[in-house]
Structure formats: structure tokens, C-alpha cells
């Protein structure tokens, strides 16, 4: 390390596809290089997330430009593809997760490859954070009963729970930290990265914050209105 170089410990984040899509569609993906630089962080995506963000969207005209924007982030080194995914751990976690819930004796595949690869890789590096907008995995870890309610609402059917496999899965993930795109946008606001968008009126900052937080929600981030209001109140405090 050169004299005077930043000696802060590098923070590691594994991004699922959802938060990147949310930021791209909300026209906020430009905050990623700024956040990366200011926090001395490494932003990883796994191969499964890369396929979800690039390979599949490139085959659909509606999503092609979103894929090109992600390719640009990778080309510029903002997002790095993590090649050391522990696939044995991925398979083990995916098997547990996708055998924990069933409808009429048919198990539900509720966790996708990108999510599991991100989590398994973060566990491998221990202090890494996962950035994920989908609420399924967060509820799996934090609130099993709410998870059952969510699935019953989603499938409009009674869901059976295998408590043993569910516990085996959630016990492995209870120390992991998960944040969402809405929190990243909140950090960007707090750092002043969005100041140029503040309208010239008394309630300008509140309008800006309301607009960007709701943009992430409408573009895929699983966040409630109550959570948005709480985050606004916190960020607007001087």
C-alpha cells in the first residue's frame, strides 16, 4: 500500500438482481460508483445474478437497455463478478429452503439461484453484506410466521411448513446482514449525492426524499409505506 493510501477495511457487498434493477429503472444507478468510492467498498454479483441481469434481458427488447447499463457497470469495475461461489453450500441451502414449504404435499421453490449464491458467498466471506429487495429471504430469516402468511397470500392457498428444515436453513443465516435499495438511496441522500435535485422550495428536501424512496418501491423494492415514512423522518432530522 502506498503512503497516504486509504487504510480503511474494505467493505464487501453482494448484490442480488432486484436492487440493481430497481436503481437502473429508477434512474439512480449512478449512485453506485459514488457509494462504492465513499465507503471503500467492493460490490459483487454472482454468476447467477449476472445471468438474471444480462443474459435473459438481452433476449427481450423491453429490457435490453437495462442489461446494457449493467454491462457498463461491470465494464467500469463498479460491479465485479464473484467467481468463487461455494456451490456445495448453495445446493445445501437451496435444498433446505425449497423443501420448507409445501401446498398439498408439493414443495414450493421460493428461493432463486441468485439469492442463494449471494447469501452463500457472503457467508463464505463472513463480514459481507447482502443487498436484496425481495422480502422472501428476509422473512425466512427474521419472521417465519410472516413468511407463511406471505406465501399463503401469494398462492391463495394454505401452506404447510416443515419446521425442521426451515430452522436448519434460518439458523445458518441468522447473523447475515441484508439491506435494500431503499437504504442505499437513503445513504446517498445523507451523503449529499442527491442535493442537485432538491427543488427550490421550503419543503424541497422532503419532496426529493419522498420521490426517490417511492421510486425504488414502485420499481421493485419490497418496502412498506410505514417503513418509507420512518426512513424519511430519520433522514430529515438535522
Say if strands 106-107 and 80-81 run parallel, antiparallel, or are unpaired.
unpaired
Note the Cα 174 to chain centre separation in Å.
17
The pLDDT value recorded for residue 149 is 84
* Contact in structure between 123 and 172 (CB atoms under 8 Å): yes
Longest pairwise C-alpha distance within the chain:
64
The residue among 160, 171, 152 whose CA lies nearest residue 99 is 160
The pLDDT value recorded for residue 238 is 63
* Contact in structure between 52 and 44 (CB atoms under 8 Å): no
Report the alpha-carbon distance of residue 6 to residue 41 in Å, rounded.
12
Q: How many CB atoms lie within 10 A of CB 5?
A: 7
- pLDDT tens, residue by residue, 192-236: 999 999 999 999 999 999 999 999 999 999 999 999 999 999 999
Identify the structural domains of the chain with CATH numbers, from first to last. 9-178 (3.40.50.1010), 181-236 (no CATH)
The pLDDT value recorded for residue 73 is 97
- pLDDT tens, residue by residue, 14-39: 999 999 999 999 999 999 999 999 99
pLDDT band at 140 (very low <50, low <70, confident <90, very high): confident
The pLDDT value recorded for residue 4 is 42
- pLDDT tens, residue by residue, 36-91: 999 999 999 999 999 999 999 999 999 999 999 999 999 999 999 999 999 999 99
Strands of the sheet containing 177-179, edge to edge, are 80-81, 41-45, 11-15, 129-131, 177-179
Helix-helix angle 181-190:225-236, to 10 degrees: 20
* Contact in structure between 189 and 154 (CB atoms under 8 Å): no
Name 131's bridge partners: 15, 179
Report the alpha-carbon distance of residue 53 to residue 56 in Å, rounded.
7
Q: How would you label 163-197 residue by residue, b for 16+ Cβ within 10 Å and e otherwise?
A: eebbebbbebbeebebbbbbbbbbbbbeeebbeee
In this structure, of 25-34, 110-119, 180-189, the range with the lowest mean pLDDT score is 110-119
The pLDDT value recorded for residue 135 is 85
Amino acid at each position: 500500500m502506498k503512503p497516504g493510501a486509504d487504510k480503511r477495511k474494505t467493505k464487501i457487498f453482494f448484490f442480488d438482481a432486484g436492487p440493481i434493477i430497481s436503481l437502473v429503472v429508477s434512474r439512480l444507478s449512478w449512485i453506485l460508483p459514488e457509494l462504492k468510492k465513499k465507503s471503500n467498498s467492493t460490490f459483487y454479483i454472482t454468476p447467477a445474478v449476472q445471468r438474471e441481469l444480462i443474459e435473459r434481458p438481452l433476449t427481450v427488447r423491453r429490457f435490453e437497455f437495462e442489461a446494457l447499463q449493467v454491462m457498463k457497470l461491470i465494464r467500469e469495475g463498479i460491479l465485479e463478478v464473484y467467481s468463487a461461489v461455494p456451490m456445495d453450500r448453495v445446493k445445501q441451502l437451496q435444498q433446505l429452503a425449497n423443501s420448507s414449504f409445501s401446498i398439498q404435499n408439493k414443495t414450493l421453490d421460493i428461493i432463486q439461484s441468485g439469492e442463494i449464491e449471494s447469501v452463500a458467498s457472503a457467508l463464505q466471506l463472513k463480514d459481507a453484506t447482502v443487498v436484496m429487495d425481495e422480502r422472501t429471504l428476509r422473512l425466512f430469516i427474521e419472521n417465519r410466521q410472516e413468511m407463511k402468511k406471505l406465501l399463503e397470500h401469494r398462492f391463495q392457498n394454505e401452506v404447510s411448513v416443515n419446521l425442521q428444515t426451515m430452522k436448519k436453513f434460518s439458523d445458518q443465516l441468522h447473523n447475515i446482514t441484508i439491506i435494500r435499495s431503499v437504504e442505499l438511496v437513503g445513504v446517498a441522500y445523507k451523503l449529499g449525492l442527491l442535493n442537485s435535485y432538491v427543488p427550490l422550495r421550503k419543503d424541497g428536501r422532503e419532496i426529493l426524499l419522498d420521490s426517490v424512496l417511492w421510486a425504488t418501491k414502485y420499481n421493485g423494492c419490497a418496502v412498506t409505506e410505514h417503513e418509507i415514512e420512518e426512513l424519511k423522518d430519520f433522514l430529515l432530522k438535522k
